[in-house]
Amino acid sequence: MEVADLLKQTSIFAKLSEADFNQLSQSTRIEHYKTGHVIIREGRVGAAFFIIVWGEVEVIKGIATEEPEAVTVLRAGEFFGEIAAMKHGTRSASVKAIADTTCLVIRRLDLDSYLERYPAIATKINEALADRF
């Protein structure tokens, strides 16, 4: 499946035009992660936003401590890494694949451009965050 088709299936981008999907897909890559792979690490600067195409990931606080805390499990259609990417800050948690997982990955600079053009996307992301945590 093409990147643009995968983006179209993501509810937060529902209002984009065909041209927007084509443009965003040029800066979006598909990444595959094996079970057990730590995709993002707590404390590192957020340089990308991830949308799960298939698979499962676990959000973990304190992954490098003696008592890491599992926060939640995310599945296909859900996203992560948006807070640090949107706010240009550090990651508040780690995310680890708990099954073989495929994600769409959008670099922070490209995400910034779309959030400026489509503030409704930022609103949808914030609403989804409120529902999730």
Q: The CATH number of the domain where 62 resides is what?
A: 2.60.120.10
What does 3-45 look like in DSSP terms, one character per residue? HHHHHHT-GGGTT--HHHHHHHHHTEEEEEE-TT-EEE-TTSB
CA distance 119 to 97: 30
**pLDDT attached to residue 94:** 96
User: Model-level pTM?
Assistant: 0.82
Q: Which domain holds residue 93?
A: 3-132
Looking at the 3D structure of the chain, how many domains does it have?
1
pLDDT in tens, the chain (133 residues): 688 888 888 877 777 788 878 777 888 999 999 999 999 999 988 888 899 999 999 999 999 899 999 999 999 988 898 776 667 778 889 999 999 999 999 888 887 787 788 777 777 777 766 665 5
**Residue-level pLDDT at 75:** 95
Are 85 and 111 contacting, i.e. CB atoms less than 8 angstroms apart?
yes
So what's the pLDDT on residue 5?
Answer: 84
How confident is the model at residue 84, as a pLDDT? 67
